[in-house]
Structure 1
Amino acid sequence: MRGLQRRLAEFAAARDWGQYHTPKNLAAALSVEASELLEIFQWLTPEQSAGVMADPESAHRVEDEVADVLSYLLQFCEVLGVDPLAAVAAKIERNETRFPPAP
């Protein structure tokens, strides 16, 4: 994870994009990319959505949007000093307390 964050930071720095990578801008970009991922599934039935990866063109689109979402999330975390894996682990622990297993 850290290696990807470092690579993304180097990519942005080489293009002088750091000035645009504010928390607000990265959060907005993350939202846009998540919406682009959603757009792929927007009018599919549940069955069609489950099979989206069987079509090479759709699979490529999904993978590209997943990459964009993760890239912006990692950059967002880097800018704010959030450890994404620690944040997920902490959230799972809170949810295990909030939502006990079904009997």
Structure 2
Amino acid sequence: MSESYESERRAGGRTGGRTDGLDVAALQRRLAAFAAARDWQQYHTPKNLAAALSVEASELVEIFQWLTPEQSARVMEDEGKAARVEDEVADVLAYLLQFCEVLGIDALAALSAKIDRNEGRFPVNGGR
């Protein structure tokens, strides 16, 4: 294990896989190659991907469903639950990236534009 992984693990964080050198486009290419190798592209329509994204987000919610706010804040302290959370986060992100790829959406640009709009809609100390 690398020193940075070990220090992150001791600090309470988890880094299940390697992330050095990864970016959104690289992950989208990897997901597309994975689907193509299995002839799954035919199923990766916007409707199907949106539905799959919703299902995976619901599976993430299910982990937290009956936890108190305090328990939910400590969920990553339990290795079993932490692994489930990470798996569901990965599933949500995978389907979101595939959805964006199919529709030609630049996810990071869309997020940046949304933050810009929200800053205009919700100015600091604007409504108090």
User: Are residues 1:93 and 2:116 paired?
Assistant: yes
Distance of 2:56 and 2:36 partners within structure 1: 21
Give ranges in structure 1 of 5+ residues lacking alignment. none
Letter of the aligned partner of 2:41 in structure 1? Answer: G
Aligned to 2:90: 67
Tell me, what secondary structure is at the counterpart of 1:100? Answer: coil
User: Are residues 1:15 and 2:38 paired?
Assistant: yes
Distance of 1:88 and 1:19 partners within structure 2: 28
Distance of 2:33 and 2:107 partners within structure 1: 19
Bigger radius of gyration, 1 or 2?
2
Cα shift at 1:102: 1.8
Aligned to 1:58: 81
Cα shift at 1:87: 0.2
Aligned to 2:6: none
Runs of 4+ in 1 over 4 A off after TM superposition: none
Q: Percent identity?
A: 79
Distance of 1:32 and 1:102 partners within structure 2: 37
Distance of 1:3 and 1:84 partners within structure 2: 13
Distance of 1:31 and 1:102 partners within structure 2: 34
Deviation by residue 1:66-91 (Cα, 9 ceiling, x = unmatched): 00000000000000000000000000
Q: TM-score, normalised by structure 2?
A: 0.80
Q: TM-score, normalised by structure 1?
A: 0.99
Give 1 or 2: higher helix fraction: 1
Aligned to 2:11: none
Cα shift at 1:22: 0.1
Give ranges in structure 2 of 5+ residues lacking alignment. 1-23
Tell me, what secondary structure is at the counterpart of 1:44? Answer: coil
Aligned to 1:44: 67
